[in-house]
Amino acid sequence: MFLSFAQTIGGKIKIMLEWVTLDYDFPSTMKRSLIERNMLIPEYLALVNMDVIRGRIFTTISRTSKPGIPVALNTVIKRNGKSFLKPFPSPRLNRAGDHSKCPKHED
């Protein structure tokens, strides 16, 4: 898999981000634990949407069809020339099925 995100600047296309494989910005022990428990299956990660808001890049990854996707909403960070997905606002608030931390909406 090869993904890239490009932007037109001054009439020229500039590649902003590139991935050979998508990867989360998790500590290695956490990543290993998630993989061992099938809560992270890297080959199932596929971007659904990417938007730039106030200079930050946000991505979404769909959880509807496959297990092993621990975080649906992410920002993108760069470290040592590589792009990583960083859970937004946090991994805890991205847990599938855990709506107890979400703000309540009153009509």
pTM of structure: 0.72
Ramachandran class of 48: left when φ > 0, alpha when ψ lies in -120 to 50, beta otherwise: alpha
Q: Are 101 and 89 in contact (CB under 8 A)?
A: no
Q: Which residue type is seen at 41? A: I
Phi, psi values for residue 8, rounded to 5°: -90, 120
Per the CB < 8 A criterion, the answer to whether 87 and 95 are in contact is no
Q: List the chain domain ranges.
A: 22-94
Tens digits of pLDDT across the chain (107 residues): 445 556 566 777 666 666 677 889 999 999 999 999 999 998 888 888 888 888 888 988 888 767 889 888 999 998 888 889 999 998 888 776 655 555 554 54
